[in-house]
Chain A
C-alpha cells in the first residue's frame, strides 16, 4: 500500500501517499479549537441533526461497547455514552491528539469518566481485538483517511458479528438544483468563514475540496460491500449533502 511514487488526493492536490496523514493532522491541529463553532456556523446547526439521526440508528443497548473512530471533539461519542449507559463502554479514537484532547476534556467536563476511553489511533490500523465492539461510528472522518478500504476493513474486523458500522460523511447532492448553490457556498462562503472565525482559510478550502474528492453514495456503498458488510445501504440527508452509510458484520 505504501509503495514509493504512489499518490493520493489531498483536496484537489495530489500528494505522496505517506504525506496525506501528516497534512490532515496539520489541518485538524490548526482548526481544533474552533472546530465546533465552525461546524455550527458552516452547517447552520444541521450537523447536530445529522449526528442525531446517526445515533438513532445505532441500536445500542445499555451495557454494550461502541467505538467512535475519528471522533474528534466527541459529538457522536457523547450520544453513544448515553446509549450504552454506565454499564457500557465507549472508545473515542482519533489520529489527531489535539482534536482528541478537546473531545476528551469536553466529555470529562460533562461527567463521562469511568466508561470512556480516549485513544490516539489510526483508522487504518485500529489497535483493538477482533470482534470487540457492538457498534462502530465514523462521523465526517472517512474522507480524511488515506486508505479508506483499509479503514473499512479494520472497522469490520473490530465489530462483533451482528454489529453495525455507521459512516456519516459529506456526499454528492442529489436534490435538483442544489449542486450549484452548494458549490457556490462551499468555495465562496466556507473559506471566508474559515478566515474570519478560525483564521485559517486554507483548511476550510481543503474541507470543500476533500468533500468533492470523496467517493459518492454508490461508490462508498460498493466499498462497504467489498469490505464484507452485509445489508449495506445509505440514507441521503439534506438532499444528499450528507449521507449515512450503514452495514452489518454477519
Chain B
C-alpha cells in the first residue's frame, strides 16, 4: 500500500474531531460501521473512506472493492458534497460533468450525509492553533474578504453586461429580448391561426365528400 499523505491524515483527524463533537454525525458514522467508499477524482487522486465504530479513516489508493464508488471531476464531487444539483449523479458517460456512482447508492448517500454533518468549523480549528481572539479576527477578515470577492464579481458582471448591452450593442437588453420573444410567440400563434383557417377553407372548397 502506498504512503498516505500527511495532509490526508490531517483532514481525517479534522473530520473525526467534528464527528466526535456532533451526536448526529456520530450516529451517521455508526450507521456506516464496517463499510467503505472509494472516492475517485479523475486524474488527481483515489481515496478510500472507511468507518469502524464512529471513527472515519481515509486511506490513499485502495485496490480491493469498496461498497460504493463515487467518481467524477473535482467540481462535480464538490458540488455533490454541497448537495448541489448540477453535480447530480450521472448514470452514463454522456454526462461528463456529473459524478458517477457505482455499487451501493444508499451507502454512498449515507457517506455524503456523514461528510455534510462532519463539516469542520474552521474558526474553531483555527482557534486551536492561534487562540480564540486571533482566530475570531482572522475568521472575520476571511469572511469579509470572501464577501468582497463575491460582491466584486457580481458588480464586474453587471458592468460588463451593461457595457455589452448599452455601449457596444453586442448584446440586447433583457426587456428588448423579452419584447422580441413575445413578438416571435405572437407571430407563431398568428401563423397557427392562419394555417387552421386555410385548412378549413380547403375543406369547404372540396365540398362534402
Which residues from chain A sit less than 8 Å from chain B, CB to CB?
53, 56-57, 59, 61, 162, 174, 217-218, 221, 230-231, 233-237, 240, 243-244, 248, 250
From A56, A162, A237, A250, B13 is in contact (CB under 8 Å) with: A56
A-B contact count (CB 8 A): 50
* B3/A162 in contact, CB under 8 A: no
A-B contact pairs, 30 of them (CB 8 A): A56-B9, A56-B10, A56-B13, A57-B9, A57-B12, A59-B13, A59-B16, A59-B17, A59-B20, A61-B20, A162-B52, A162-B55, A174-B3, A218-B1, A230-B52, A231-B52, A231-B59, A233-B59, A233-B60, A234-B3, A235-B3, A235-B5, A235-B6, A235-B9, A236-B3, A236-B6, A237-B6, A243-B3, A244-B9, A248-B55
Chain B contact patch, size range:
10 to 19
Bound-complex Cα distance A180 to B13 (A) = 34
* B57/A231 in contact, CB under 8 A: yes
- Known contacts A230-B52, A236-B6, then 12 further A-B pairs from the complex at CB < 8 Å, ordered by chain A residue: A53-B6, A56-B9, A56-B10, A57-B9, A57-B13, A59-B17, A61-B20, A231-B50, A231-B52, A233-B57, A243-B3, A248-B55
In the complex, B134 has a CB within 8 A of chain A: no
In the complex, B90 has a CB within 8 A of chain A: no
Give chain B nearest CB distance to A189 CB in angstroms. 26
Give chain B nearest CB distance to A166 CB in angstroms. 11
CB neighbours of A218 from chain B (8 A): 1
